[in-house]
Structure 1
């Protein structure tokens, strides 16, 4: 798929293709082509896999499920292989775009970008839209569908001399108190690649379709190689967040969660050096506490490609209802988990999830 037109589809045969998608971050993968096969060698040309000029798209039943920007190609003539490394194209490009009102030598003196009275989700859409605004227009264009602006209580200012990337600005919004999750849902639109940007909770239609169940205790099941990680390394019950300034003038906020806890005092000081608003700093500090005041649990397991639930069925942020009886740190009842990432190859889909409410 060409990055100039986001079209020009070329079918490439491969036996090894890995990729994935995750909430709030991009996921990469790799693809290996066996060049001793004449059919593969005919299709896999320099033009078809040129870094930055092409993306590799994985399809299922004619639907795009992953689009990876090609950034590296390893050739091994002795083994007759060509291995292509790629990364979620939307996230990869946005990590290389900045929030600037003036691009070029005058960027540090450009007028600040100011948005006021928006929701956090709307700010996420505005941030991405600004990252697509530049010249030449065709080089900055990406087919990302954004949601309309919504009024709210949040404001942000981005000054050119700080050179904040779109990805960093998104992460600040995501990690704010009450911040949305962000996902770029890739699909085909009339033969061209397109992403639908999602920020915030699931829509009613998505919620209805984003519930899947696996009973790991059943005799016949499609849940294999389950793993549970319970991690308290990053637990903090007193967080001090610091913002702009220095010395005694350093801006600071704090949040704690000692009530109802038997943990010893575990302190953390986190720097948010670009924060100059006391309200925003408090929000980031509270969000940091909420994210780390309890041990985290992550469950993963594999399901077969071509099983009852297809790769294209998954909506990140959806609910996985899972029943297992193999773990010390889980009960044997049904537990709801939030799907935060999936990885795949030709045979298996690996699901990664966090417990809802845990």
Structure 2
């Protein structure tokens, strides 16, 4: 569709930008975790596409696929697999965002057989900066560098100790902090570096919408801009008791419980193997219970990417708000509602962007 372009860049330099014409290239963005695996299809019956593929622009691991719209990067993901169909003359590549690479990075300066003895303590910082330190630890060293832009350090009263014998990945360590009470949301936003045509990411922590970006739509009036409104309520993840399990084993294992009332008992176990302080473990259990003490209501809808409702795509990001008005709906209450955008996705073959709201 108009405005979309698909590129690949080298994972060695994050440059060598190559324009590739995709038959279809779905994309997805979220925060705090990977948005999941995706696939893009290329028609090699087109001589230009075939030439780009033969030149190595779609090689697994060596290339990263980038989707942009009007110069704004919407998605970037490492190509992990390709699948060629000779009869159809198509090449399908499987790719996933940068979180998939962090799942394969240990947070340890010593990554040899001596790793069990390695230990690192961060103290006197906010959780945001501990996440930053973990990211730096996971992306430092030969063959490990990623072009990430960071926020300033924030001092505070938080501390964390990491032990090599736990063999934590960057995903393990960052997710554990994000799930703590007061833990920050974490986003890795892909973008073009302003001084070059190379790809980079900006690590965003804490407030995902510091500029208070709000998209506003009147559902009954803006039929050209919005469609496909859905609501889902779920109690699948609800609990009335969380048992937080920390360091140790057998009778020496550290456990703390957090409870809330409910129609009946719903008990869950949550692991925090790096936590040995009982106060921190109680905070962990309380935080988990806080997010599970009620039913989850999610809304979703599609917005037209060309609609003035969205405006500048640079301001669309996980954590932005959608303010929307409905009336006369048999299930959804009349009036204005405001929800956080927790995920958005699209396809280069369509002008519609799908929003997940909470």
Query: 2:48 aligned to 24, 39, 47, which one?
Result: 39
* Whole-Å separation in 2 of the counterparts to 1:271 and 1:108: 20
Q: Which residue in the other structure is 1:99 paired with?
A: 107
The answer to whether the aligner puts 1:193 opposite 2:193 as a matched pair is no
Per the alignment, residue 335 of structure 2 pairs with: 333
Q: Give the superposition deviation at 1:268.
A: 2.4
SS of residue matched to 2:20: coil
Match of 2:293 in 1: 293
Of 154, 167, 182, which residue of structure 1 is paired with 2:171? 167
In the alignment, what sits opposite 2:5?
none
Which of these residues, 55, 60, 68, is aligned with residue 51 of structure 1? 60
How far apart are residue 46 of structure 1 and its match?
Answer: 4.9
* 2:265 pairs with 1:265: yes
Question: Residues 103 and 267 from structure 1, CA distance in 2 versus in 1: closer, same or farther, beyond 3 angstroms?
Answer: closer
Q: Note the 1:281-320 alignment, pairs <5 A.
A: 281-308=281-308, 309=310, 311-320=313-322
Displacement after TM superposition at 1:60 (Å): 1.2
Q: 2:26 aligns with which of 4, 10, 18?
A: 18
**Matched position secondary structure for 1:108:** helix
164-173 or 36-45, which deviates more:
36-45
Distance in 1, Cα, partners of 2:328 & 2:343: 22
- Structure 1 SS opposite 2:152: coil
Q: Is the 8 A contact 1:228 1:327 kept in 2?
A: no
Alpha carbons of 1:327 and 1:278: their partners in 2 closer, same or farther (altered >3 Å)?
farther
Q: Residue in 2 aligned with 1:156?
A: 160
Contact 1:127–1:166 (Cα < 8 Å) also in 2: yes
CA deviation after TM superposition for structure 1 residue 18, in Å: 0.7
The equivalent residue for 1:83 is 92
Kindly indicate whether the alpha-carbon contact (under 8 Å) linking 1:237 and 1:289 is maintained by their aligned counterparts in 2: yes
Check the 8 A contact 1:60/1:312 in 2, yes or no.
no
What do the CA deviations read for 1:167-203 (whole angstroms, capped 9, x no partner)?
1100001000111110011111121111110010146
What does residue 146 of structure 1 align with? 150
C-alpha contact 1:211 1:318 (8 A) present in aligned 2: yes
Structural RMSD (CA): 1.8
The answer to whether 1:253 aligns with 2:262 is no
1:345 is aligned to 347
Q: CA deviation at 1:272?
A: 2.4
Q: Whole-Å Cα distance in 1 between the matches of residues 21 and 267 of structure 2?
A: 53
Instruction: Say which SS state the counterpart of residue 47 (structure 1) adopts.
Output: coil
Query: In structure 2, how many angstroms separate the alpha carbons of the residues matched to 1:217 and 1:67?
Result: 34
Greater helix proportion: 1
Question: Take 2:316 and 2:115, find their aligned partners in 1: how far apart are those partners?
Answer: 41
The question of whether the paired residues in 2 share the 8 Å contact of 1:242 and 1:269 is answered with yes
1:145: Cα distance to partner? 0.8
Shift of the alpha carbon at 1:79? 0.8
- Give the secondary structure class of the aligned counterpart of 1:297: strand
| 8 A Cα contact 2:185 2:208, kept in partner | no
Residues 219-243 of structure 1 show CA distances to partners (whole Å, capped at 9, x for unaligned) of 6441111111100122112222121
Q: TM-score, normalised by structure 1?
A: 0.91
| Distance of 1:315 and 1:173 partners within structure 2 | 22
Q: TM-score w.r.t. structure 2 length?
A: 0.91
Q: Against the structure 1 CA distance between its residues 337 and 226, is the aligned structure 2 distance closer, same or farther, given a 3 Å change threshold? A: same
When structure 1 is superposed on structure 2, of 79-88 and 275-284 the one drifting more is: 275-284
Aligned to 1:274: 274
Aligned mates of 1:336, 1:343 — CA distance in 2: 19
| Structure 2: stretches of 5+ with no match in the other structure | 1-8
Q: Secondary structure at the match of 2:40?
A: strand
Deviation digits for residues 327-354 of structure 1, max 9, x if unmatched? 6653122111111111110212111111
Q: SS of the counterpart of 1:130? A: helix
Match of residue 121 from structure 1:
128
Aligned counterparts of 1:59 and 1:194: Cα–Cα separation in 2? 13
Distance 2:200 2:85 in 1: 33
Q: Given the alignment of the two structures, is residue 2 of structure 1 paired with residue 6 of structure 2, yes or no? A: no
Where 2:263 maps in the other structure, the secondary structure is: coil
> Conserved in 1, the CA contact under 8 Å of 2:162 and 2:274?
no
Following superposition, the deviation at residue 146 of structure 1 comes to: 1.3
